[in-house]
A and B are shown apart, each in its own frame.
Chain A
Amino acid sequence: MNSSPSAAIDIHDLHVSYGRQRVLHGVDLSVAPGEFIAILGSSGCGKTTLLRTVAGFQKAAGGAIRLFGRDVVNMPPEKRGMAMMFQSYALWPHMTVMGNVGYGLRLRGVPKDEIRTRVAKILKMLNLSGLEDRKVTNLSGGQRQRVALGRALAIEPEILLLDEPLSNLDAKVRVQLRSELKSLQNQLGFTAIHVTHDREEAMTMADRIVVMDAGRIAQMGSPKEVFDRPNSPFVASFMGAENTIDLDVNPASKGIEVKADGAAATAWDGRAPPGRVTAYFRDDVASLVDPNARIDGSIVLPGTITQRTYPGGHYRYVVAIADRHFTVTDDDYHELDRPVGLRLPLASLHLFPTDPTKGGNHA
């Protein structure tokens, strides 16, 4: 995305500090109108700080935030004209559903009758019709979060900020609200920034994912791009490739040759940094083969099965290779202590040069 004035949100070199501690170290992000962005990261990575700075609740130490070309970095939150959903719902307990959802309209001087009709319309959209005069303290978690969404959408915002709004809900309601939110976004066309630590939530909802690490953007791209081609060990393991194995990459007559400790070398026509590399992979890319099998484009690590479970549909095995243990699923039944080969297709591994300062990498 280029940072043209047509961007809904354009963040440039944003720095934020809490006292002396710097939390954001120069973040650049441009969000197109109507785009759904998920900011993903572990706790303390600065993702919530970034959102709160965009909303105006946190002062920036430097940099610019432009909304549709208008610089808001020094503007108080009430002048920024965006809506936000909070993790704790943040409904006003002394008001009814009507009072909560209609408050933004009341602030904008909309006449009472019109507020009633507009709120009724929104409640209908969110399947909350008939609850207008209910106290918000008498609602379930899912209903509360719907009211919070209604409150945010009532002012017809161009930008909606979501601060982990689904994390306090139970799994079923969460999945349901996730798709409701997404379809509302398609219907109404607002721009959304969604902060979450839930990878699946980010993957299913967002047009683009921003992975943050220690106050910086580690990678940004479409969900598929970030999932399939992580640009760093951090992103790889954050996106689920948490198993690691060290490999040697050497140039060969045709392409390259990849060798794992204690296994035969494999020729490969892919690309990898030469020398010692660390491969990151997810459980589901591994499969079980004969320990002596030689397969081009895959490395086969000899090991033994040490544990077997049946979670349903397939068996799950723990395979010991040297002193390491890997989990792998297989449709067939195998005896324990049986020697097997763990096949890893090289194309599905994320290879990064081994960081010599860290020694043996066990991410």
Chain B
Amino acid sequence: MIGALFLYPLGYSLAAAFTEPGSGLTLMHFRKAYELYSTDILFTLFIVITSTLLTGLFAIIIAGILTLGETPWLVGALRQLYRWPLFIPFIVAAQCMRTFLAKNGLMNNSLVALGVMEPLQATSFLDWRGIIITFVWKQVPFVTLMLAGAMASIDRATIEAGRNLGASRLRVLIEIVLPQVSQTLLVGLVLSFVTMLSVLSVPMMVAGSQPTMLTVDMAFRINSYGDYATANALGVISYLIAGTVAWIYLRHNVKREVQA
């Protein structure tokens, strides 16, 4: 099954990316992909890396509050709310963000109504910022879920020992809790990175214009030109990016195992 449904198409795509009918092995598809889409490759990297870092930051904050919070209503509310985006598909999230982040969208209207902003200052967030906001909004719950679970399972006394010696809750989070769950955080972020790299709907719906992400470019090459070769070349580039992240993760894992 794996062979038929995954390995064969994968091998076929790889082969198509590196060959040209009639002239054998070639890198011309990559040259073309690079000439047309080098900006988009960088744009994709920028979006996905920024989103991953922000996702990590917010997940740490929320999981930290859930673990170390002492305000019962805040912890309770957060625990109820933070999982919701998990159950919303990317395309629905993108659709919601369109109405929320548009120039006359809910966010700007609310800010104007609150008097925080003049109507003339209102700008649309439906560009790279919109993609990042959607990605982070969608991925934070996933990473938080993993992270909060890991934090809940560390020995509570290690937290108390830190506070007992005089560490504030923030220091306890950074110096005592996070190092003990870093492995889980890394797994969550690697999975989020790869997921965001492969999402088509969000960049297509939220931003739409140039520059855009590789997934959109690939869809465009195929749908508009039937240009499978260039699309496959872009696909290989995506693989390489995802592969690099996986390699970082594996290397980190091996290092820990050697240490232990």
Residues of A within 8 A of B (CB): 55-57, 76-79, 81-84, 86-95, 103-104, 107-108, 135, 137, 148, 151-152, 155
Q: Give the docked Cα–Cα distance between A82 and B164 (Å).
A: 7
Contact of B165 among A89, A91, A104, A135 (CB under 8 A): A104
Query: A77-B163, A84-B161 known; 5 other A-B pairs, CB under 8 Å?
Result: A56-B164, A57-B163, A78-B164, A78-B168, A107-B165
Q: Which of B164, B176, B259, B260 contacts A55 (CB 8 A)?
A: B164
- Count chain B CB atoms within 10 A of each CB in A94, A152, A155 and give the residue with the most: A94
What residues on A are CB-neighbors of B165 within 8 Å?
Answer: 78, 83, 103-104, 107, 151-152, 155
The 6 closest A-B pairs by CB, nearest first: A90-B157, A104-B165, A94-B179, A90-B161, A86-B157, A77-B163
Please state if B161 and A94 are interface contacts (CB–CB under 8 Å).
no
Is B160's CB under 8 angstroms from A57's CB? Answer: yes
Do the beta carbons of B180 and A83 come within 8 Å of each other? no
Give CA–CA (A108, B171) in the complex, Å.
13
A83 with B164: CB separation less than 8 A: yes
* Count of inter-chain pairs, beta carbons less than 8 A: 68
Q: Report whether over half of chain A's contact residues are helix, strand or loop; otherwise say mixed.
A: loop
Q: How far is the CA of A54 from the CA of B259 in the complex (A)?
A: 38
Asked whether B162 is an interface residue with its Cβ less than 8 Å from the other chain, the reply is yes
CB distance from A59 to the nearest CB of B (A): 9
B166 within 8 A of A: yes
The complex places the Cα of A30 from the Cα of B161 at a distance, in Å, of 24
In B75-125, the 8 Å CB interface with A consists of: none
Count how many chain B residues have C-beta atoms less than 8 Å from C-beta atoms of the other chain. 19
- CB <8 Å contact, B158 and A92: yes
Asked if residues B157 and A88 are in contact (CB atoms below 8 Å), the reply is yes
Contact call A93/B167, Cβ cutoff below 8 A: no
Which residues 207-260 in B have Cβ within 8 Å of A in the complex? Answer: 259-260
Given A94-B179, A94-B180, A78 contacting B167 (CB threshold 8 A): yes
23 pairs across A/B with beta carbons < 8 Å? A56-B163, A57-B163, A77-B160, A77-B163, A81-B166, A83-B164, A84-B160, A84-B161, A86-B157, A89-B157, A90-B155, A90-B158, A90-B160, A91-B158, A91-B161, A92-B162, A92-B180, A104-B166, A107-B167, A148-B161, A151-B161, A151-B165, A155-B166
* Complex contact B160–A107 (CB within 8 A): no
Q: Which residues on the B side are within 8 Å of A103 (C-beta)? A: 162, 165, 167, 175
- With the chains together, A92 CA to B163 CA distance in Å? 13
Which residues of B166-206 are within 8 A (CB) of A? 166-168, 171, 175-176, 179-180
A148 to B168, CA, bound (A): 20
Q: How far is the CA of A57 from the CA of B163 in the complex (A)?
A: 9
With a cutoff of 8 Å between Cβ atoms, the chain A residues found around residue B171 in the complex are: 107
The answer to whether A77 touches B179, judged by C-beta atoms less than 8 angstroms apart, is: no
- List A contacts of B179 (CB < 8 A): 92, 94-95
Which B-chain residue is minimally distant from A107 (CB atoms)?
A: B166
Task: Give Cα A78 to B259, complex, Å.
Answer: 32
In the complex, residue of chain B having the shortest beta-carbon distance to the beta carbon of A89: B157
- When the two chains form their complex, are residues B163 and A78 in contact, meaning their CB atoms are under 8 A apart? yes
Is A86 a contact partner of B161 (Cβ separation < 8 A)? yes
A93 contacts which chain B residues (CB < 8 A)?
A: 158, 180
CA distance A108 to B166 in the complex (A): 8
The docked-state distance in angstroms from the alpha carbon of A82 to that of B166 is: 9
Taking the nearest CB of chain B, how far is it from the CB of A197, in angstroms?
18
Q: Which of A87, A107, A108 gathers the greatest number of chain B CB atoms within 10 Å?
A: A107
Bound CA–CA A148/B155 (angstroms) = 14
A151: which B residues are within 8 A, CB to CB? 161, 165
Which residue of chain A is the closest to B179 with respect to CB atoms? A94
Q: How far is the CA of A55 from the CA of B159 in the complex (A)?
A: 13
Residue of A nearest to B70 (CB): A76
